[in-house]
Structures are given as structure tokens and as C-alpha cells.
Chains A and B, each alone.
Chain A
Amino acid sequence: MITLDDGYIRMAEPDDARALWRLYYDGHLRASLLDTLYERMLPTVDELHEMLGRAEITQGNLFAIEDISGEVVGFCNLRGMTKASVVGDFMLMFHDPAQFHTPLADSIHQFTWERSFEMAQRKRIHAPCLRCEEAFRAYLLRHGFESVGVQREVLHAQGAWQDLETFSLESPLWQATD
């Protein structure tokens, strides 16, 4: 477990299944919870419990974020490199979108930076974000991410077509050794 400003971050574990499940059912659309076909999933707590028990899913990839009281308030996902390049994926979800504006969220950016660029030496990280995820979008822009484009009408949810924007953050460390 790593101590952050106003909270903690640690690898997710099966006991976090209920907290993760809540994210799927709270009525907010999140790009981070779409599958590879950009489809929404409705997992059961049991399925999430089983998924969180698989080391390849959680270890070094999926992290639970706790506030200072120890309650899980969100999750951070840092997925591995693509096959032919060195690009990682970054995802951040909070139960309460207002959390994106807190020092805890800012310190997760520092955590992401260190793990992605210093430890894993990625060239860049990408963050998918639905256009309706305004708080997450503002968070990404505040931390230096730049939009690389919008895929229009990729998801049909809540009775409407949704656009998916991809953000990118370059590693200055990589550029120095390129």
C-alpha cells in the first residue's frame, strides 16, 4: 500500500468486488468499464470477485484507491504495453466524480507518472474517455494529457450514441533517450 495525499492506493483484491460492482451500476457511463468492443458490461459481484482473484488482472495493473478512512472510493487501471509499441493505458474511476478535483486524484497522477514512465519506461500513456465524462476529461487536461481524436458514435448507451475521446500523455524521459 502506498500513502497518497488524503488516501492510499494498493493492488485490488477479491474483497474489492462489491466496491467495483457499484461503479457498473451507479448510472454513470465510464469508458474504463467498457469491454474491448466498447460494449457495456453488467457483471455480477461473483464474476468480479473471480476476476479480482486472477493475478494477471490485478497485480501491477488494477489498483484500489482508499480515502483516509480506508473506504474504497475508486480504482485506477494501468494496463500493459501494446505488442508492437510501448504505449500504456490509463484509467481512473471514482464513485463520486467530484473526487477528480481533489488532492487524492492529483497524487494518483504522480503515482501513474512514476509507474508508467520511470518504472515501466513507456513512451506514452493513453486514456479513453467518453465525452460525457466531464470531470475525468477536465482531470486529464489539467494533468497535461492532449486529445488525439474523437471516435464518433462508438457506443449506444442510455438511449443515445456516445463519442469516445482518446487522450495521450508523452513521456519526456522517453524523448530524452529516443
Chain B
Amino acid sequence: MQEHWCVADIVPIHLYPARLEEVSRLSAHVRALCEAAAVPPEAMMDIELALAEAANNIIIHGYHGRTDGMIAVGVRIAADSVSLELQDEGKAVPEGLFSKCRAISADAESGRGIGIIQSCIDRIDYRSEGGRNRLLLTKRLNH
């Protein structure tokens, strides 16, 4: 399992303030790296969506109103996959959140973020240690 946690150790990490208005900048950074590596547009769409939902969750639930938080992002692009690692120092997510399946009523105005990440991403790894949370999202590429 250890090899799945090497993204942030081998690629540059970029820091963004954990604020909703910064998510577009974070997203543009990841999109530019993916476009430079010719990641197919369909995969890009899913990566961008999962990234926005994950960052929103960190800001809204993890930092929960704190304005001094940061999100660190690392991106590794291989021939057959894109891995994004998001790190934060907010509140950790509840145990098993990313593996649970949840029913959302059609008229719910929130609560769809995790389901969207699960639909868009092939592998989700999460761990929280020493006050630092690391979310690793891996999307397989079918060229």
C-alpha cells in the first residue's frame, strides 16, 4: 500500500488558501498539468469535478469557517493514470466516508460531493495522521 502514498514525495507541492474562491485557481493548475500531458478530455472532466468536490469538502467541512487553512496539492501523471493528492490540516473526515454508499433524495440541496468523487475516480485513499489529512485520488486513463 505504501507505494500509493508517494505522490507528494516525488512531485512539487503547490499550496492554496483553503477558500472557496481559490478552488478555481487550484483547478486551473491541475488542468494545465493534465493538458500539457495530453490527458484525454473525458478523464479531465472527471478529474476536475472530483477535485472541486474534494477541495470544497476540505474548505466547508474540514476547515469549517477557518480562514487561515491551506490545501496542498500534488499531481502525478503516468501513462495510464493521473493521481492527485490533497493535503490539509482541518478536521479529518469520518471513518469510512469515502467507501460508503449513500442515498441522496432528488430534492436534497447538498450532500452529493462524495458520491460524485466516487463516480469520477477509480481509487480513493485517505489517511489522517498527526493532524494532517491526505486524500489520494487516482483516475485510470484509457487511451
User: Is A bound to B?
Assistant: no
Binding site for A on B (CB under 8 A): none
